[in-house]
């Protein structure tokens, strides 16, 4: 026995309009026809009001009938004049419609369609409709978008849907107050300056970054906190709004203000974050875990910076962050190099791994889990983060052809989900694209990359592993297809 699929009945819609002119009536019939072709059961007097029918009863039924789910009011000057003057059939409809609108507060049955505007550009709308939102079909340039909006209204499928409520942020529990960074004004100023190419754009960016670095001190944790891993998780959770600020500025700069000055400002921003990764000069007793919240968020910010610049194909700016070393004050006092590569931004976070064991979570990498879970609503997909992580991993290995792992690619624990090479490398099938993108890895030729892959294949132990899980660099690169097209 087979069961027939059931389909929802098409929405019924009545068109209220004025017989202004033959051209206007033809326009209305055209709109009604297009709606019917879009699965809307349109009821129009031209089609449904026959000789001998009571026109007043027909109109009253169409407006008040509960089976008619939607009514559109085609508003031109003649329609508004007749409605406001209560003249003719339109005036009769207006009395019924206005009564329906005023009688029901939660009313989504009626919408005005603006067909014409007055000489000052104001939409012709009936008096009873003045405070309500309308759909404008008077401008041919925006007609397609407005017609889509009309269809969404008819089918109750809005473009923007109210998201569901998420869980209460952990940092708000137990009455604790989250740190608040005084950066909002400077952030808005920097974004506005970048988007509008203002002369002070670079200065506004530097000013915001400077304030952000100084304000970050508010997130420093008390080393004596019980269950320190809880404090770390709450701290990085509380940091999310400020992380998103920085990411929006990164994205804005990549779109509107990619320049030598911009990339230098981002480089200096990360350089000034380095002191947060270790003990402050005045601290003489500490544990490695004391700075884990800072280590997590700085690493996350650096991943996103590379991901955003790569996604926007700002390869020169991304390469700038990777090829230029970072100054670390005080290292020379201990006989160490003051300039360090970007690997400094990926520091261990032992408290997070301890948390995985303490709570028996049985995760291969809780840190990677956090990075994936936090990749929401920022215009950057997790695959872009993984792609950046892969680039950062390979770039440090290439000069030494696999002498050791200096950048642990945390997010590649999820690389098994990949169905093909990362996007930037898939595009490198084109020789012209590879010529631009190769600077990400600091390459001159494809052969240098092939040499590193051969090293991995001779010694698979050189690849990162999470339990029994690892990844295939040749697959993630799509190496065999690189430079196979012009």
Q: pLDDT tens across 188-200, in order?
A: 999 999 999 999 9
- Asked if pLDDT for residue 255 goes beyond 70, the answer is yes
Q: pLDDT tens across 129-161, in order?
A: 777 889 999 888 888 889 999 999 999 888 877
Sketch the domain layout of the chain as residue ranges.
12-154, 179-380, 391-486
- Does this model's pTM top 0.85? My answer is no
Weakest mean pLDDT among 53-57, 158-162, 302-306, 338-342:
53-57
* CB atoms closer than 10 angstroms to residue 126: 21
Ordered DSSP codes for 169-223: PGGGGGGPPPP--TTHHHHHHHHHHHHTT-TTHHHHHHHHHHHHHHHGGGGPPPT
Name, in order, each residue with C-beta under 8 angstroms of 75's C-beta and a sequence gap of 6 or more: 112, 113, 114, 115, 116, 123, 124, 125, 126, 129, 134
Q: pLDDT tens across 61-74, in order?
A: 777 778 888 989 89
End-to-end CA distance of the chain: 57
Specify the pLDDT at position 399: 66
List for the chain the helix, strand, coil content (%; round to 5).
Answer: 60, 5, 35
Q: Is the dihedral of CA 353, 237, 234, 360 positive or negative?
A: negative
Higher pLDDT, 182 or 240: 240
Measured distance CA(432)–CA(43) in Å, rounded: 57
Specify the pLDDT at position 401: 47
Measured distance CA(470)–CA(453) in Å, rounded: 15
Percentage with pLDDT > 70 across the chain: 87
Specify the pLDDT at position 322: 96
Specify the pLDDT at position 2: 42
Q: What value does the mean pLDDT of the chain take? A: 87
- Asked if pLDDT for residue 6 goes beyond 60, the answer is no
Phi-psi label, residue 205: left if phi above 0, alpha if psi -120 to 50, beta otherwise: alpha
- Banded model confidence at residue 98, pLDDT cuts 50, 70, 90: low
Higher pLDDT, 332 or 278: 278
Is 205 in contact with 190 (CB distance < 8 Å)? yes
Specify the pLDDT at position 74: 92
Specify the pLDDT at position 8: 75
Q: Is the dihedral of CA 461, 466, 467, 473 positive or negative?
A: negative
Specify the pLDDT at position 87: 59
* Helices and strands: H and E segment counts in the chain: 20, 7
Higher pLDDT, 5 or 301: 301
Specify the pLDDT at position 3: 43
CATH number attached to the domain at 12-154: 3.40.50.10140
Q: pLDDT tens across 467-480, in order?
A: 888 999 999 999 99
Specify the pLDDT at position 94: 60
Q: What is the mean pLDDT of residues 296-321?
A: 97
- Banded model confidence at residue 252, pLDDT cuts 50, 70, 90: very high
Q: Which residue has the tokens 């929006």?
A: 248
- Banded model confidence at residue 179, pLDDT cuts 50, 70, 90: confident
Task: Compute the CA torsion angle 436, 437, 442, 444 (nearest 10 deg).
Answer: -50
Specify the pLDDT at position 177: 67
Specify the pLDDT at position 69: 85
Helix axes 184-195, 201-215, angle to 10 degrees: 160
Q: What is the mean pLDDT of residues 9-35?
A: 91
Q: pLDDT tens across 412-442, in order?
A: 999 987 789 999 999 999 999 999 999 999 9
Specify the pLDDT at position 159: 80
Instruction: Find residue 113's DSSP bridge partners.
Output: 74, 135
């Amino acid at each position: 026995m087979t069961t027939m699929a059931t389909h929802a009945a098409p929405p019924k819609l009545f068109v209220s309009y004025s017989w202004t002119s033959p051209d206007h009536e033809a326009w209305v019939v055209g709109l009604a026809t297009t709606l019917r072709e879009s699965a809307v059961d349109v009821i129009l007097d031209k089609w449904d009001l026959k000789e001998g029918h009571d026109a007043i009863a027909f109109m009253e039924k169409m407006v008040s009938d509960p089976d008619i789910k939607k009514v559109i009011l085609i508003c031109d000057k003649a329609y508004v004049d007749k409605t406001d003057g209560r003249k003719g059939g339109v005036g009769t409809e207006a009395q019924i419609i206005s009564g329906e609108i005023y009688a029901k507060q939660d009313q989504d049955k009626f919408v005005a369609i603006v067909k014409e505007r007055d000489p000052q550009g104001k939409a012709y709308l009936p008096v009873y409709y003045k405070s309500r939102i309308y759909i404008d079909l008077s401008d041919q340039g925006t007609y397609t978008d407005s017609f889509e909006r009309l269809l969404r209204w008819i089918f109750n499928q809005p473009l923007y849907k109210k998201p569901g409520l998420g869980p209460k942020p952990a940092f708000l529990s137990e009455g604790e107050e989250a740190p608040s960074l005084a950066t909002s004004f400077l952030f808005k100023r920097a974004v506005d300056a970048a988007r509008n190419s203002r002369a002070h754009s670079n200065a506004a960016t530097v000013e915001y970054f400077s304030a952000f670095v100084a304000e970050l001190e508010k997130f420093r944790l008390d080393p004596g906190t019980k269950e320190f891993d809880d404090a770390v998780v709450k701290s990085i959770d509380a940091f999310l709004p400020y992380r998103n600020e920085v990411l929006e500025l990164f994205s804005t700069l990549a779109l509107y203000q990619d320049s030598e000055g911009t990339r230098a400002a981002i480089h200096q921003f990360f350089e000034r974050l380095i002191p947060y990764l270790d003990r402050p000069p005045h601290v003489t007793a500490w544990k490695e875990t004391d700075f884990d919240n800072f280590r997590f968020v700085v690493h996350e910010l650096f991943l996103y910076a590379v991901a955003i610049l790569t996604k926007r194909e700002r390869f020169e700016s991304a390469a700038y962050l990777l090829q230029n070393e970072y100054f670390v004050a005080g290292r020379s006092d201990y006989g160490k190099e003051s300039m360090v590569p970007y690997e400094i931004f990926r520091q261990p976070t032992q408290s997070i791994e301890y948390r995985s064991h303490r709570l028996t979570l049985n995760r291969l990498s809780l840190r990677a889990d956090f990075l994936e879970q936090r990749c929401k609503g920022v215009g950057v997909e997790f695959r872009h983060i993984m792609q950046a992580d892969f680039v950062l991993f390979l770039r440090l290995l290439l000069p030494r052809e696999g002498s050791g792992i200096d950048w642990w690619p945390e997010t590649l624990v999820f690389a098994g989900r990949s169905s093909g090479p990362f996007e930037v490398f898939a595009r490198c099938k084109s020789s012209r694209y590879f010529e631009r993108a190769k600077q990400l890895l600091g390459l001159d030729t494809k052969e240098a990359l092939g040499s590193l892959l051969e090293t991995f294949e001779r010694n698979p132990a050189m690849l990162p592993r999470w339990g029994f899980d690892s990844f295939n660099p040749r697959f993630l690169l799509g190496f065999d297809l690189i430079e196979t097209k012009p």
